[in-house]
Chain A
Amino acid sequence: MADGSYLKGFGVTFKKLFEDRVTGDYRGGKGLAKGKPDEKRPKADRLHGRHVLNRYEDGMEKCIGCELCAGVCPAKCIYVRGADNDPEAPTSPGERFGYVYEINYLRCIHCDLCVEACPTQAITESKLFEFSFTNRSDAIYTKNELLVGDDGKPQQLPWEDWRAGEDQMTSGWMRATSPAGDHRYEGMVHWAGELGYGVREPEPGQSADGEDDGGARPVESGTHEG
């Protein structure tokens, strides 16, 4: 107190009054009717939001019902039950498909481990985080809600707050968290076979500190022939 540091503190806070604000005008969409759009900052490339279940270009589901996502989930929020495909009219290209697929968003912590575990890149995360529910059963998303539409974009459910452009790049996480983060995958976009969304510019890469560890080279995934 004797050195006047208390008064110095008052000066510090007073200066803050004239600084730029770090937050924007955000009203959760409530100002839209009056022509006041929400100010939003651009989302991070690897933001973890609500999941989507992807499909191949021909409309087949990628999920093969292997339950690896459910096994790896630390919050135990995923419930999967696989079933055998009908050979006449298969749901997915393999032997089995995800018969039941549920994610409980009251438990999900958006850690993205399910996405990393998925061998077919069936489950990825969109950037949507503005969704809320008024009852517990609404919080459990089933395959009906999670599966992408025929255009490959996530479904926009009534209680979710989607804005223009947010349904793009649903699997933009992939390069960072999959083996594709390795320097040998630099400049490669290798999850072909999606319905036209989710491919983004390759990341700069890590070749400076990278050494070839003799690991697996990228396979041309998504070369599914129907």
Chain B
Amino acid sequence: MMFAQDPLYTGDWLGDVVITAIKVVAAFTFLLVAVMLNIWFLRKVISDFQNRVGPNTAGRWGILQSLADGIKLFFKEDLVPDNADRVSFKLAPYLSLVPAFLVFAIIPIGGDFNGDDGDGVVTIFGHDTLLQVADPPVGVLWFLAMSSLAIYGVMLAGWSSGSKYPLIGSVRASAQMVSYEAALGLALASVLLVSGTLSTHAMVIDQSGQGPAFFGIENILPAWYLLPVGVVPFVVFIIAGTAELNHPPFDLVEAEQEIVGGFHTEYSSIRFALFFLAEFMNQITMGALLVTLFLGGPNGPAFFFPEGWWIGVFWFFLKLMGFLFLLVWVRATLPRFRYDQLMDFGWKLLIPLSLGWFILLAFIQIGRDEEWSTTQFVALGAGLAAAFVALAGMLGLAIRNARNERIDEMEDAHG
């Protein structure tokens, strides 16, 4: 019996089934609880940013607030609008939710990766296994596939509501998510150039310990991909990821002032809760993926070497919390983009930037593989830089031309 491509499966099928089931249930439960806490965390931190107290009634420090909200939503009336396409309307929340759950399957959340034999394997009931639900060879492609699927949920929700604001919201959502997925994918491709593997587990092993020595000086920095890949894909990934999440300042999809609730305007009760759940779960999985790709996953800083799988869990969650805090911080600071700004930013800045960086990384990688001499590096590098400048100039020219034409058109139309 085959559940997932996992080399650690021994062929003892009963053991494999039990271990897999335990991991699935654990990941499922973890995500649900984490979403609950994430919503509470968001509300508490944004209150701090706004000099308010925030939720304080349900449980200590209001920690059970989202549970109370969930119970309330569960008991509310479940409406399906007359004009709705009933099948799609009911299907859409699940199309949003299921990918959100599934992406987390490839995230390694813990394990001991220190030392030469640190491969992150833990032993449960005498079975060797990894602290991630599955480690498929396609790895991060699974994430891209799932996040593309999640667009269908949003799109179908808006379309099937049979109402205008949800439709506008879903059109915005699909356009935005498709646009920023390009930048996200290019940032991710930069990481793949360095890692040489798609498997998240292999990436985390690769990022353990200290970084390679640099010109003979011992490197005390960790071997996280953030350093070899560079800060540009990291920042692009955060920005594009925020846009994928429809999180402020990219929340045009749910811009209350313009289009009510966007794609979920017509939803109520538990179906609305499912969208909400998916949204906050996506924040967690996006953060987890960012941590895995750039920040070494469960790897701690190189100079810190305690033993045990739990220390990996600790570092993983610390970094995840950092990302979630950053999301709230961005939410508290930046105003929402205008739609044309959104598209300009995505297509004319993020995509060229990440594409250029990708080419640069590929250039360095090829140079290393071919063992170019310094002269070759400098000569070819100068050529590449010239090409970049020329391309950037042409892009800038094209953008300016297009803008001038649009202005002319508008002046013609409006006098």
Residue from the list B56, B332, B334 in contact with A27, Cβ < 8 A: B56
B51 pairs with A9, CB closer than 8 A: no
B334 pairs with A9, CB closer than 8 A: yes
Q: Is B10 an interface residue (CB 8 A)?
A: no
Question: How many Å from the CB of B238 to the closest CB on chain A?
Answer: 13
C-beta contact mask, B309-345 vs A, less than 8 Å → 1, else 0? 0000000000000000000010011100000000000
Q: How many A-B residue pairs lie within 8 Å, measured between CB atoms?
A: 38
Chain A residues in 8 Å Cβ range of B52 = 21-23
Q: Is B13 an interface residue (CB 8 A)?
A: no
A14 pairs with B329, CB closer than 8 A: yes
B56 pairs with A13, CB closer than 8 A: no
Q: Give the distance in Å from the alpha carbon of A139 to the alpha carbon of B273 in the complex.
A: 32
Q: Is A90 an interface residue (CB 8 A)?
A: no
Q: Give the distance in Å from the alpha carbon of A75 to the alpha carbon of B175 in the complex.
A: 47
| CB within 8 Å of B: which A7-29 residues | 9-10, 12-14, 16-17, 19-28
Q: Give the distance in Å from the alpha carbon of A23 to the alpha carbon of B47 in the complex.
A: 10
Given A16-B50, A17-B49, A19-B51, A30-B57 contact (CB < 8 Å): yes
Question: How many Å from the CB of A22 to the closest CB on chain B?
Answer: 5
Chain B residues in 8 Å Cβ range of A10 = 329, 333
Chain A residues in 8 Å Cβ range of B56 = 25-27
Q: Give the distance in Å from the alpha carbon of A114 to the alpha carbon of B169 in the complex.
A: 46
Q: Which residue of B lies closest to A10 (CB)?
A: B333
Q: Is A119 an interface residue (CB 8 A)?
A: no
Chain B residues in 8 Å Cβ range of A17 = 48-49
Q: Is B53 an interface residue (CB 8 A)?
A: yes
Q: Which residue of A lies closest to B47 (CB)?
A: A21
Q: Is A31 an interface residue (CB 8 A)?
A: yes
Q: Give the distance in Å from the alpha carbon of A30 to the alpha carbon of B333 in the complex.
A: 33
Q: Give the distance in Å from the alpha carbon of A80 to the alpha carbon of B333 in the complex.
A: 53
Chain B residues in 8 Å Cβ range of A16 = 48-51, 332
Q: Give the distance in Å from the alpha carbon of A160 to the alpha carbon of B213 in the complex.
A: 72
Question: How many Å from the CB of A209 to the closest CB on chain B?
Answer: 37
Q: Which residue of A lies closest to B62 (CB)?
A: A27
Given A13-B329, A14-B329, A20-B51 contact (CB < 8 Å): yes
Question: How many Å from the CB of A21 to the closest CB on chain B?
Answer: 5
Q: Give the distance in Å from the alpha carbon of A12 to the alpha carbon of B57 in the complex.
A: 29
Chain A residues in 8 Å Cβ range of B334 = 6, 9
Q: Give the distance in Å from the alpha carbon of A20 to the alpha carbon of B57 in the complex.
A: 20
Given A9-B334, A27-B57, A30-B57, A22-B329 contact (CB < 8 Å): no
B329 pairs with A23, CB closer than 8 A: no
Question: How many Å from the CB of B141 to the closest CB on chain A?
Answer: 33
Q: Give the distance in Å from the alpha carbon of A9 to the alpha carbon of B332 in the complex.
A: 10
Given A16-B48, A17-B49, A23-B52, A9-B57 contact (CB < 8 Å): no
Question: How many Å from the CB of B340 to the closest CB on chain A?
Answer: 16
A22 pairs with B51, CB closer than 8 A: yes
Q: Which residue of A lies closest to B57 (CB)?
A: A27
Given A16-B48, A17-B48, A24-B333 contact (CB < 8 Å): no
| CB within 8 Å of A: which B159-215 residues | none
Q: Which residue of A lies closest to B349 (CB)?
A: A1
Q: Give the distance in Å from the alpha carbon of A215 to the alpha carbon of B329 in the complex.
A: 60
Q: Give the distance in Å from the alpha carbon of A31 to the alpha carbon of B62 in the complex.
A: 11
Q: Give the distance in Å from the alpha carbon of A26 to the alpha carbon of B332 in the complex.
A: 23
Q: Give the distance in Å from the alpha carbon of A13 to the alpha carbon of B329 in the complex.
A: 8
Residue from the list B51, B57, B329, B332 in contact with A21, Cβ < 8 A: B51
Q: Which residue of A lies closest to B53 (CB)?
A: A23
Chain A residues in 8 Å Cβ range of B51 = 16, 19-23
Q: Give the distance in Å from the alpha carbon of A193 to the alpha carbon of B333 in the complex.
A: 57
Chain B residues in 8 Å Cβ range of A24 = 53
Chain B residues in 8 Å Cβ range of A25 = 53, 56
Chain A residues in 8 Å Cβ range of B53 = 21, 23-26
C-beta contact mask, A127-167 vs B, less than 8 Å → 1, else 0? 00000000000000000000000000000000000000000
Question: How many Å from the CB of B348 to the closest CB on chain A?
Answer: 13
Q: Give the distance in Å from the alpha carbon of A22 to the alpha carbon of B48 in the complex.
A: 10
Q: Give the distance in Å from the alpha carbon of A10 to the alpha carbon of B53 in the complex.
A: 21
- Offer 24 A-B interface pairs, CB within 8 angstroms, sorted by A: A9-B333, A10-B329, A10-B333, A13-B332, A14-B329, A16-B48, A16-B49, A16-B51, A16-B332, A17-B48, A17-B49, A19-B51, A21-B51, A21-B53, A22-B52, A23-B51, A23-B53, A24-B53, A25-B53, A25-B56, A26-B53, A28-B57, A30-B57, A31-B57
Having A9-B334, A17-B48, A19-B51, one finds 15 other A-B pairs with CB under 8 Å, namely A10-B333, A12-B333, A13-B329, A16-B48, A16-B49, A16-B50, A17-B49, A20-B51, A21-B51, A21-B53, A22-B51, A23-B52, A24-B53, A25-B56, A27-B56
The 8 tightest CB contacts between A and B, nearest first, are A13-B333, A27-B57, A13-B332, A22-B51, A9-B333, A21-B51, A23-B52, A17-B48
